[in-house]
Amino acid sequence: MHLHKVVIYGFKSFAKETQIILPPGITALVGPNGGGKSNVVDAIRWALGEQKVRELRAEKWDELLYVGGPGRPSARLAEVSLHFDNADQKMPSWPEELVITRRYYRSGDSEYLINGRVVRLRDVSDMLLDSGLGRFSYAIISQGRVEATLTQKPRERLEQLEEAAGVSRYKVRKRETLLHLQEVNSNVARLSDLQGETGRQMEELSQQAEQERQYLAWQSERQRWQTQIQHTKFRNAQKALGKLQQQRDSQVANLAELAQELSAHEIQVQTVRESAEKVQEAMMRAESQWRHWDKEVTQLEQQEAVMLSKLEGLTGEKERLGTELQEIEGQAVRLRHEALQLTDRSNHHSSEWQGQLVTLEQKIAQLEHEVQEVAEELDLRRRTTAQRDIDLGLIKQSLARWQGVLGTDSLDSLAEAMDFKRTQVRQMEREVQQLSQELQQLTEKRQQLERFRHHTEQELLPLRHQLAQRQARLRALHQLEAEGEGLPLGVRAILQAQRDQKLEGILGTVGSLLTSDPDVALAIQIALGNASHDVIVEHESQARRAVRFLQAQALGRATFLPLDTIRPGLVPDGERSLNRLQGVVGWALDVVHFERSLRPAISHLLGRVLVLKTLDTAMTVGAHHRFRYKMVTLDGQLVHAGGAITGGHHGQRDSRSSRVTEIQTLTQRVAEDLKIIEGKEELLKASLTELRETEILLDGARERLSERRHH
């Protein structure tokens, strides 16, 4: 086994990565003074775990980093790797190739690696114990080391000899084993104390366990009853919903009937309108025809009078001509008789009488023909007049019937009545249309109200269930808070004694008497720590009485904060402005809420505590006040007064602090749920009132529509 390569980067004078190959045998480094020969030895010593910076010829660890030079920046990392060849297996526990690396960062962090795996310094020391390269190794002899070896004390020389003989490893393990045994004995003593304390607490814990079992049983019973109540409410709601759905179906059926009736009424109105138009047209035609026929009747009567007068003239003429004819016939008979007697009279006289006779006969025949034609025309006129009298009678009967229906006596009154009826029909149509629109609007409004009511009830069901769950959880948390669950034994005993009126002046624990916003709750919890269990009392005499009570009952310990003697944590006025620096949330005393009378005790705990956003900000602000004040970040990292830092992953929060935060959150959410439910119930109540009013309006609209239909 031998060291065959050294790799150096950023260490002292080595700005770049430098590899030094060490073949088997003797290797000498030659160079001028200040060339870095001793730095190679320091690098090997440092990589092997040297913890004394003076042994490396430096005053502080940052001096191990390359400081920079012309054109080269300073190094942010120093790294040295030692490569060991163990092919001969002289170190059985080592691998064939072993690489030990040590790194140091400018931030102050450092790490050790074995074959690229991050390990502890102890792991490196354990691996080197049997190799002769340990803490007291003689393998590295730096300048002045020979003289120091000659003048070293016997104990130091013994340690060096033990290292060379390989005994130091076992002595280290012996020392560790003895320390571990001492720690085990301490733990055993502590366990004995805890066992005794546990024995004293067994009875109380048994009572608490019994109370917890009783509480769980009651909780289970409560949940069962609550589930049964919710189930009953759900069944009642389903029944109510069924009734409402039946009402809705009935209303929908009524709406359909009303729609049918409305359609029938509209058809009837249309029929009436068409009938009225037909009646009006018939009346107009009848009136026109009646006037026309009346005019024709008048003309016919005039013609009849003329024809009668003419007929009388013709009849008189006929009678006159008949008389003349008779006279002529008598004359003819006489003439024929005379002709017979006077046959032998002159032919000239006979021819004249014969011509006159023929002329008279023709005239008589013509007159008879004309009389016959006049009689026929007169008969036709009489028949036409009779038919028109019949038609006129029918028209007069129809007019009389409509006059009786419309309540009028004359044609002018009949026309006025028809106009009035037409106006009434149009007005009725408008009213029916208006009622139909109103009925449709009211129906739509009712449907909207039904949907809104159903939607609101569906929203209220989960809200009420959620509210009941949160209220039950809040009551359980208040019960646990009242019983002091999560508090130390002594604090619970003090609170119980205060409830039993055995002690006076007990105001409560710090954690129960102050609140904070959720964004700073974790920071306040970390800043208080176990002080959140401190008990605030009014007077120091009451605190002494409470201490004696705990002593007498052997119930543990508690810290008391008497308001009359406690000294508040004050900040000089000149440093109050620290809360205005960038990244500072504020003084812890200003971001919590509590009663004014408790200020001395709360100020004692939080008066000199700053709340900041991040740990980097805390370190920057700490430089301003030279770490005189405690600082806590929003994510729970703590910087103590003096500069010590406590931090990391916080993990699960304290159960009682979480319970207090949950109580605050649930109280706020219960108030919000109650407000939301009250608002929705008001909306539901208003919608039900509006729904009933709409039902009344619907009934009125149906009645008015029914009256219009009957009219």
254 token code pair: 């009524």
- Band (488; pLDDT cuts 50, 70, 90): confident
Is the pLDDT at 570 greater than 80? The verdict is: yes
Q: Could you report how far apart the first and last alpha carbons of the chain are, in Å?
A: 125
Give the per-residue pLDDT at 346: 44
Is the pLDDT at 357 greater than 50? The verdict is: yes
Which residue in the block uniquely carries the two structure tokens 């190679």?
A: 40
Q: Average pLDDT, stretch 170-193?
A: 79
Q: Average pLDDT, stretch 537-566?
A: 92
Length of the chain: 711
Phi, psi of 174, deg, nearest 5:
-65, -45
Which residue in the block uniquely carries the two structure tokens 């021819």?
A: 351
Q: What percent of the chain has pLDDT over 90?
A: 15
What is the spatial order of strands in the sheet that 97-105 belongs to?
Answer: 18-21, 2-9, 77-85, 97-105, 110-114, 117-119
Write the CATH number of the domain with boundaries 2-152.
Answer: 3.40.50.300
Separation between Cα atoms, residue 444 and residue 690, nearest integer Å:
13
Higher confidence at residue 526 or residue 128? 526
Q: Dump pLDDT digits (tens) for 271-326.
A: 766 766 776 676 677 667 667 766 765 776 676 666 667 656 656 665 665 566 56
Q: Dump pLDDT digits (tens) for 105-136.
A: 888 888 999 988 889 888 887 777 766 676 55
Domain ranges of the chain: 2-152, 484-653
690 token code pair: 């509006």
Which residue in the block uniquely carries the two structure tokens 């040295």?
A: 80
Q: Average pLDDT, stretch 213-226?
A: 84
Range with the poorest average pLDDT among 196-205, 530-539, 566-575, 659-668: 196-205
Q: Average pLDDT, stretch 691-710?
A: 70
pTM of the model: 0.36
Q: Dump pLDDT digits (tens) for 31-69.
A: 888 778 888 888 888 888 888 888 788 888 888 888 887
Matching CATH number, 484-653, of 1.10.3680.10, 3.40.50.880, 3.30.70.1620, 3.40.1160.10: 3.30.70.1620
How wide is the angle at C-alpha 50 spanned by C-alphas 48 and 54, nearest 5°? Answer: 145
Is the pLDDT at 417 greater than 50? The verdict is: yes
